[in-house]
Structure 1
Amino acid sequence: MPNFKPNLLSMAILAFGAISLPTYAQDASSTEDAEDALEEVVVTGFRQSLVNALDKKRASDMVTEQLSADDLGGLPDVSMADALTRLPGISAVRTGGQAAEINIRGMSGGFVFSTLNGREQVSTSGSRSIEFDQYPSELISSAAVYKSPKASLIEGGVAGSVELETASPLERTQQHTFNANVRTMFNDRAGEISDAVEFGHRFSVSYQGKFADDTVGVALGYARLYQPSVSTQFVGLGYTNLVDVDKVEGDTEGPESNPSAEFVSEGMELQHRGGEETRDGYMATVQFEPTDTFSLKADAFLSKFDTESFARGFRAKFEGTSAAYANADVVDNYMIGGTVNRRSSGYTRVEIVNDDNTDYDEVQSYGINADWQVTDAFNVNFDLSLSKASSNFRNGLLWALVSEDANADTPVLDSNVSINYQLNGLSLPDVGFSQADDFSDINKVLVSKYGIYPFVNSDEISAARIDFKYDFDLPVLASIEAGVRITDREYSNDRSVFEYGNDSNFSTSEAPLRLTNDMVEVVSWEGDFAHFPDYLAIDVDKALNAWFPAGIPQPVQTWGAGNSGVVNPDPNSTRSYDWTMLQSGKVFEETLAAYVMANIDTELAGIPVTGNVGVRMIETDQSATSLENVGGDPLLGAQYVKDSAGYINDQFAPSIKGINYTDYLPQMNLNFALTDNDQVRIAAAKVMSRPPINRLASDTSYNISDTGEISANSSNSPSLKPFYATQYDLSYEHYFENTEGAIAVAVFYKDIDSTGIVTTSLPEFDFAGNGFAVPSTIIDELSGVPIPTRNGTYTVAYNDQNGGYVQGVEVAYTQVFNMLPEPFDTLGANVSYSYTESEIEKERVIGVSTVKQSLEGLSKNVASTSLFWNYKDFETRVSVRSRDSFVSDQVAVDAQTVFFSGETVVDYQASYNITDNLGVVFQVNNLTDEPTRSYFNTEDQTGTIQFFGRQFFLGVTYSM
């Protein structure tokens, strides 16, 4: 076991956080036979769900955290991401103001494996990690986080595995239950954003019933969410330029030869973001149990999440060495303030941006399971499943620039560009623009460019598994389990692009658009952002209809004369978009897994011991389509390749590349029942997480120089291997005897082999020997003489070998204080705290410098606290969850890896039961309007400051 810091355990015990398992439905079964059992504690609603979760945790043969709803629709959270953050060691990354990706034990979502009803789920994100905000909490009856695995579970989670479950109606005691929730929603920041939606709603309805002498069970559920998506944000762009800020125009010395050169940001953005998010979720389950020995269950889950949004404001682009810098404020060799001026030959500018984005995501999950108790000792379980996900994201961008005179016959760019700024760490910066008055003047502003950047991907996995279990009546061995699982997965992505105009100047061939008053609205900033200048919000549809009277051009691609391989290029364009073909393609993955596991039930020195020991074997065959630029040589396999926009390239040779490999994962879980209320768990396992499915795509492009040297680049690779770790867990759990509740303390240690994907350069790479269709000679264009080709450098993605440990401690405390006098005997608390540390550091290149960052998703301290109280028909709860700073990605012009500052999010909820069936509920999410704040290497280098507003809910619940 790891050697923890001396104060680690004391820190854990003194700190606190929360698991929250809220519900409002009244469980009628909890009152049955109450008079016949005087010592029985009758609990309903929240307390019932809490007791259910503790019972599941207590009975589990693994280190696990549990969350249980008393009935469908019982969890108040917007999504399962919010609900899971109530559990110890679980934190979330907020996207658009609400939790989407979860982190487990300091590791990011890419290391988290997820299942629904025991079946692997694919994602709309193009990675392995599912987006939990796609899963309505109203349709999930329980969730478990497995922190230690066992051999019978599907492999895939170095951080842990999340199991979501929908309803099993035959397992309920009631014959029929019905639940409905209706809530209106209000965002208090939407009013300061022009055209943003302020009000939304949530609605859910569910039914569970048993028929035909309890041999047939049916569960149906529907949940709808319509909510505003708003934020006001500042985004600092990455420090990718190395510049001598003292250099004056005309100097010839470059920054590379000047040791005093500083890192300068690409620029900054100031934006209003608004839009609408609509999620429709559907769930259905049918169970058939004609006898006590046979059960057949079919279930389906469908969730559609549609987002229509806009982003408006302006973006300052410094443009590195082409700009002139003055009054530079430099801290640790990074410029965090000063004046940036446009040079006569430079491109420094301020872009007025009006983005129009749509994202249509859908996940589907279907399964059928048959369970047959063949004899008293022998059980067979067979399962078939299909999981599908699709995402259609369309990023439409409209750029506008300031001209000297927008009404001129040939408008020219205003060259008087001066940007004064001073970053203020995690507070908003001070920014001034020489063109500030012009940003809202249609006599100065012209639309210069429009672009559409669609990204369509789909992911589908079909699986079949069979499991066997044989029970023994032996002193040590309770049973043997074995099983086989096969999967077939296909992922595809499709890129295309349309662009017209120029975002850094006014194009003469693609003339800019002059704006009219009916196309624009002058927008002012409010609140903390009120000191920033007004700007023009442009109606994208009106602008495009005026710019292209015959209708918006289709999203087609164009290539210039330098890309002669394109059969149908636009001769007037100089753009090159063959990257859309290279970034489009398919990934194929087939697996065969088998396991054997022994379940243990024995005694050791008079202490009952249960658990399991087993091993899981997995064979993986993965491959991806690939396009290799063979210069159009048909002898090397060149074919006509057509993209989704209809344009054709004849330079590429299609192929499929991949690898196969076999893994063995031994795993052990032992539970020692010290007393009826105390137990110790010990677990050890080797675990794995496969790389993101989109990183297995082949996007290799290579070039042959005039001298015959072959070089190639790829940001992905179908040869990437999984990430592996060996982990150990030790936990102690004490369950209170005279009240509901428990206290648990756990320590863990993970020895991780690899934590990420990096790129490496392989000199003198044997391209032909590794299956690349490269020519042996090229023809010199001047002499016509053949020139032999030779191997050069291959830059390719590979598994980072810089691993290390992740270790930590977790404390969870849950109790209802029924020893207090009335009315405080229903006061309760759920508290949890986790401390996690790691030696792992990942290198990231900024400009020409390499900096180190901690493991993505790791917050040293994560805490959450829920206090609840109910008096008769009234119940109230406040939840606080907090986490330290951590590393993750933020999205600006391009994705940037940054540090996110620590945050504390407070939620409040109150409900009142008017009758046994009807109740009202009031809820506030993000009560303090906690923003997200990020920075690059130190807090001086501001990243994102983003405010989302508070969400207020008011509604009614009905159950029967």
Structure 2
Amino acid sequence: MTKARQTRELFRLSPVVAGCTVLMMAGAHAQTAPAQQPQAQPQTLETVTVTGIRKGIEDAISAKKGSDSIIEAISAEDIGKLPDASVAESVSRLPGVASQRNKSTGKASSVSVRGMSPDFNGALLNGREQASSGDSRGVEFDLYPSELLASVLIYKSPDGALVGQGLASTIDLQTVRPLNFSSRQAAVNYRKQRTGVASGAGEGTGTRKSVSYIDQFADKTIGVAVGLVKFDEKGADQQKFNSWGGWTLPFAPSGGAGSPLLACDGPTPPAGCTTGVNKVNVMGGFTADTENSTATREGRMATLQWKPNKDFESTFDYFYSKGRFGLKKTGLEGAIGDDDNSAYDPRGQITNYTIANGVVASGTLSNYKGVVRNHFEGGDDSLKSWGWNNKLKLKDWTLLADISQSKVVRDSSRYETTAGQPGNGNKSAAGLGSISWTGFNGQNFTDVKYTTSLSYADRAIAKLTDVDGWSGGEGSPQAGYVALPHVQDKIDSFRLSGKTDLGWGPIVSGEFGINVTNREKIRQTQEGRLFIKGTDPYGATAVPGSDVAIAGTTGLQVVSWDPRGSLGSIYDLAKKVDSDILNKDWSVKEKVTTGYFKGDLDGDLGGLPYRGNVGLQMVHTDQSSTGFNVDRANCTGNTAATCPGATVAQGKTYTDILPSLNMNFDLGGDQVMRFAAAKVLSRANMNDMRASLGYTVNNTGVQILTGDGGNPKLNPFRAKAIDLSYEKYFGNKGYFSAAGFYKKLDSYILRVPTVFDFKPYTSAATPLPTTGPNKGSTVGLLNQPINGEGGNIHGMEFAINVPLNFVSSWLDGFGIMLNHSDTSSSVELPTSGFSVENVGTVKIPMPGLSKKVTNLRFYYEKAGFQIAVAQRHRSDFLGEVSDFQDNRQLTFIKGESIVDLQLSYEFQSGWLKGLSLLAQGNNMTNSEFQRYNTDRNVVTDKIKYGKTYLFGINYKL
């Protein structure tokens, strides 16, 4: 090892040791000084202990500065205390990182890095790949309570030893290592919160409790860390309005001027509809809900570390998280511009109207059939993750063996019930009411005011029944629906590696290893329609209880009740089986074997000293899936007997070679220039990899077999990445950085119709085309995920994180953290290749991409006082939500700015020393969550979550 390298390693690995070395060198110099020189007087060195916000910042800066890769980091301000209540909120303050709020709770839940969707992130816990609870691979950070984590590292550039990496980034959640602490530490936290403040609806409450304990035994050769957390939350009321995508339908007068308006979509439209004269537009309808959530979670973390000598270390860690979530939806929905003129919903007329700019600005619709919704969605999840790591130094080698498992199970339920006026078996409109509105201008769907002539809070009017015949009418009554999805994901991993010094030119040491991962994900569901007990398809019964609620933002009152437990007493269940439901039952297996080499670099280039690493991974993948094949032509009903499905299995193997390079040039003056290049990949969503498919003869136009399904033979997303970063450090107290990145996406997975031979899935009873060029042919079109063309994504990131006493001593205690990223992409994807909500464009941008993301945090910390104000902003983006059928769906989300405030005081002396008080406010500007369809001025869904206030007490030993 060269002397230059020794010095750089010293400063990189331990600034404290480096400082001691400087003092020792100074002492040696003093000993060789002439005898006549006066001896320096002994000095008492003051020990400064950094705590709180500054400790978290300095630890994170030290991690970033010492890394050979380009990373971002957050670190706990104290044991059991990340900067925010959730991991997603904490990491979303880092450069190039943005979070999406959960549409049901308003909390940050998923994370996009460098403009790419959450599925492009690899997720690790203590360096090990983690299972997920959804259909995709994206890890739900809600399952990892922040109180149990010590730090989070986001790798923007990989290295050869980083297994489980993602195409956008790799996010490594880390728990504490007890032997890294010099003494016993313990902390107890209690927090009380109020949510939904100033939302215009009912407020929610909650509590969070946590305990952390760290200790060392046997002359500091054994370390133990334990963490416990529990929280209970009753969410605030969320008032929501959905305009069904913001569409309108044409109406025209039934006679002359001033006569009632009739819909132009019926079988006998009025004369004005056919000529185009006097046509005006009316909103199609709406759904308005008030939602209230409940959530509980218990988390446990334990680490046992044994280091009997300098040559051997064994660490076992365990992480457990169990939660329950429930969401009650109470509201009103119904058609205005669109009805079916059936026995369930007779056609109405619009009277007392005013028209402005071709839009019915106000009016009254007769024969309105409102549907009162009382739905409940919930689920239980559990995460168990453990790992055992052993390191042994044997002569010139350091050997490592690691075994781990991550398992997630989620059981969900979705109950939907409808109440209103029963269908009457004929087309009369006796007893039906009307709905009136004012203030419509053709675009402001969420701001229109509604009134109804009937009170849907009256249990004599709103009864549990099949209101609109949505399941096909009296032959298949549906007064509700139930779905019971089950997801299980398990990852078993084993790693062996050895590291030794090398003399291969600039490669001074190398690590050789192999990692084997076996993963299996299973998704199953049971679904069916609920109908009122008895034989009457128009049967109805009173809504239990006496509760009423407000239907979203409309202000209209409706009957309210909890449908859980009503199966058997009020409803009977008709289990439903069809091709769509069978498509939700699948399993995917993967065996990924990764052989890797990582070489540490040290040398000089053009007079500039550098360090870093070069790596190579050979990744062999064996993937397979099982699902159901459904011939829709032979699917004559919605039961297992009338819609048979045959099990089908497919798969493939492939190998990827992933080189990587990280070089860090020392520019002097605590300045670093980093360069990184790598080939990276992210695997396809497992829902896209399912083997399920369904098909039938398409009789529209030329007859041909058509179908849809998954694709077990998908290759991963692949890309080439280049990063360049300049960083100026001020010790470990602050830094400035400017970075640029470019990723060339070699492919992108999307759904398109492809030529497909259905012969392996047909039988003698399978109907085939009977006419045209495809007569008798099993070759048709299958709409399935494929590896399509990619593009590029590139951007710039700027960050500054400094204490302001650099500027003036008057600002001692103040500090600022500011970062901004600007990201663009050439990727334009066909709308037809994705499930996108209410989008009329042919092309859509890359999901997850906000062109501009800005984070600002201003803080003050001194004499026990801590004050922090933070804002995170992201511009418009194409996000992802779950639809009413539990399917993933893309949707446009408006940009937002979230402002948070934190105040705390820690007693510095006396018998209260170690006690701190905390007050925190989130979303202080009451930023709304808004969705739109292509045109950002046409808002289709608006949610006001309100503010969250949190008050807490912490005691540290």
TM-score w.r.t. the length of structure 2 is: 0.83
Identify if the C-alpha distance between structure 1 residues 778 and 766 changes in structure 2 by more than 3 Å, giving closer, same or farther: closer
Contact 1:155–1:689 (Cα < 8 Å) also in 2 = no
Q: Secondary structure at the match of 1:81?
A: helix
From 109, 115, 127, the equivalent of 2:118 is 109
* Residue of structure 1 in register with 2:542 after alignment: 515
Contact 1:386–1:463 (Cα < 8 Å) also in 2 = yes
Q: Does 2:928 correspond to 1:931?
A: yes
* Residue of structure 1 in register with 2:31 after alignment: none
Q: Which runs of 5+ in 1 are unaligned?
A: 1-29, 559-575
Identify if the C-alpha distance between structure 1 residues 593 and 419 changes in structure 2 by more than 3 Å, giving closer, same or farther: farther
- Residue-pair matches, total: 868
Q: Does 2:144 correspond to 1:135?
A: yes
From 641, 646, 649, the equivalent of 1:653 is 646
Residue correspondence of structure 1 range 45-194 to structure 2 within 5 A: 45-95=52-102, 96-174=105-183, 176-189=184-197, 193=201
* Residue of structure 1 in register with 2:484 after alignment: 454
Identify if the C-alpha distance between structure 1 residues 122 and 190 changes in structure 2 by more than 3 Å, giving closer, same or farther: farther
Identify if the C-alpha distance between structure 1 residues 692 and 250 changes in structure 2 by more than 3 Å, giving closer, same or farther: closer
Q: Does 2:407 correspond to 1:401?
A: no
Measure how far apart 1:321 and its partner are. Answer: 7.6
From 866, 869, 880, the equivalent of 1:875 is 866
Q: Does 2:704 correspond to 1:717?
A: no
* Residue of structure 2 in register with 1:565 after alignment: none
Residue correspondence of structure 1 range 556-595 to structure 2 within 5 A: 557-558=575-576, 577=578, 579-595=580-596
Contact 2:661–2:678 (Cα < 8 Å) also in 1 = yes
Q: Secondary structure at the match of 1:540?
A: coil
Identify if the C-alpha distance between structure 1 residues 955 and 821 changes in structure 2 by more than 3 Å, giving closer, same or farther: same
* Residue of structure 1 in register with 2:474 after alignment: none
Give, as a single letter, the amino acid of the residue that structure 1 aligns with 2:66: A
Give, as a single letter, the amino acid of the residue that structure 2 aligns with 1:230: A
From 289, 296, 300, the equivalent of 1:278 is 296
Identify if the C-alpha distance between structure 1 residues 336 and 714 changes in structure 2 by more than 3 Å, giving closer, same or farther: farther
* Residue of structure 2 in register with 1:767 after alignment: 758
Contact 1:53–1:68 (Cα < 8 Å) also in 2 = yes
From 343, 346, 357, the equivalent of 2:377 is 357
Q: Does 2:887 correspond to 1:861?
A: no
Contact 1:457–1:492 (Cα < 8 Å) also in 2 = yes
Distance in 1, matches of 2:272 and 2:777, equals 33
Q: Secondary structure at the match of 2:696?
A: strand
Contact 2:531–2:571 (Cα < 8 Å) also in 1 = no
Measure how far apart 1:815 and its partner are. Answer: 0.9
Identify if the C-alpha distance between structure 1 residues 94 and 427 changes in structure 2 by more than 3 Å, giving closer, same or farther: farther
Measure how far apart 1:192 and its partner are. Answer: 6.1
Give, as a single letter, the amino acid of the residue that structure 1 aligns with 2:646: A
Q: Does 2:319 correspond to 1:312?
A: no
Q: Does 2:395 correspond to 1:386?
A: no
Residue correspondence of structure 1 range 762-841 to structure 2 within 5 A: 762=755, 765-768=756-759, 772-775=760-763, 789-799=776-786, 801-819=788-806, 824-841=811-828
Distance in 2, matches of 1:883 and 1:584, equals 36
* Residue of structure 2 in register with 1:843 after alignment: 830
Contact 2:859–2:867 (Cα < 8 Å) also in 1 = yes
Measure how far apart 1:860 and its partner are. Answer: 1.3
Measure how far apart 1:667 and its partner are. Answer: 1.2
Q: Does 2:455 correspond to 1:438?
A: yes
Identify if the C-alpha distance between structure 1 residues 414 and 462 changes in structure 2 by more than 3 Å, giving closer, same or farther: farther
Identify if the C-alpha distance between structure 1 residues 828 and 460 changes in structure 2 by more than 3 Å, giving closer, same or farther: same
Distance in 2, matches of 1:948 and 1:600, equals 51
Identify if the C-alpha distance between structure 1 residues 824 and 318 changes in structure 2 by more than 3 Å, giving closer, same or farther: same
Contact 2:82–2:151 (Cα < 8 Å) also in 1 = no
Measure how far apart 1:172 and its partner are. Answer: 1.5
Distance in 1, matches of 2:423 and 2:641, equals 41
* Residue of structure 1 in register with 2:745 after alignment: 752
Identify if the C-alpha distance between structure 1 residues 151 and 349 changes in structure 2 by more than 3 Å, giving closer, same or farther: farther
Residue correspondence of structure 1 range 852-931 to structure 2 within 5 A: 852-891=843-882, 893=884, 896-914=889-907, 915-931=912-928
Q: Secondary structure at the match of 2:615?
A: strand
Q: Deviations over 1:716-770 (max 9, x none)?
A: 2212221111111100000125x821101101111112344223242xx3223xx
* Residue of structure 2 in register with 1:729 after alignment: 723
Identify if the C-alpha distance between structure 1 residues 391 and 776 changes in structure 2 by more than 3 Å, giving closer, same or farther: same
Give, as a single letter, the amino acid of the residue that structure 2 aligns with 1:51: E
Q: Deviations over 1:389-448 (max 9, x none)?
A: 11111011111123599xx99998855555647667997734355635332222221211
Give, as a single letter, the amino acid of the residue that structure 1 aligns with 2:507: L
Q: Deviations over 1:563-589 (max 9, x none)?
A: xxxxxxxxxxxxx54543332121111
Distance in 1, matches of 2:426 and 2:349, equals 33
Give, as a single letter, the amino acid of the residue that structure 2 aligns with 1:532: G
What is the percentage of aligned positions where both structures have the same residue? 27
Distance in 1, matches of 2:631 and 2:445, equals 51
Distance in 2, matches of 1:262 and 1:62, equals 61
Give, as a single letter, the amino acid of the residue that structure 2 aligns with 1:309: L
Distance in 2, matches of 1:680 and 1:250, equals 71
Q: Which structure has the larger Rg over C-alpha atoms?
A: 2
Give, as a single letter, the amino acid of the residue that structure 1 aligns with 2:891: V
Distance in 2, matches of 1:632 and 1:926, equals 53
For the aligned residue pairs, the C-alpha RMSD in angstroms reads 3.9
Measure how far apart 1:130 and its partner are. Answer: 0.3
Q: Deviations over 1:526-560 (max 9, x none)?
A: 9xx4x632222234359x38xx54x764x5515xx
Identify if the C-alpha distance between structure 1 residues 617 and 64 changes in structure 2 by more than 3 Å, giving closer, same or farther: same
Q: Secondary structure at the match of 1:394?
A: strand
Residue correspondence of structure 1 range 186-205 to structure 2 within 5 A: 186-189=194-197, 193=201, 198-205=204-211
Q: Deviations over 1:652-688 (max 9, x none)?
A: 3323111221111121111101114001001111111
Q: Deviations over 1:579-616 (max 9, x none)?
A: 43332121111111111232210011221111112221
Distance in 1, matches of 2:551 and 2:339, equals 32
Contact 1:426–1:933 (Cα < 8 Å) also in 2 = no
Distance in 1, matches of 2:179 and 2:356, equals 68
Give, as a single letter, the amino acid of the residue that structure 1 aligns with 2:207: H
Identify if the C-alpha distance between structure 1 residues 835 and 41 changes in structure 2 by more than 3 Å, giving closer, same or farther: farther
Identify if the C-alpha distance between structure 1 residues 670 and 325 changes in structure 2 by more than 3 Å, giving closer, same or farther: farther
- RCO (CA 8 Å, sep 6+): is it higher in 1 or 2? 1
From 696, 700, 703, the equivalent of 1:703 is 696
* Residue of structure 2 in register with 1:958 after alignment: 955
Give, as a single letter, the amino acid of the residue that structure 1 aligns with 2:763: P
Q: Deviations over 1:630-669 (max 9, x none)?
A: 6999xxxx9xxxx9xx966783332311122111112111
Distance in 2, matches of 1:594 and 1:456, equals 34
Measure how far apart 1:98 and its partner are. Answer: 0.7
Give, as a single letter, the amino acid of the residue that structure 2 aligns with 1:653: A
Q: Deviations over 1:458-507 (max 9, x none)?
A: 111111111221212565121122211111111111111131239xxx99
* Residue of structure 2 in register with 1:618 after alignment: 619
Distance in 2, matches of 1:847 and 1:426, equals 14
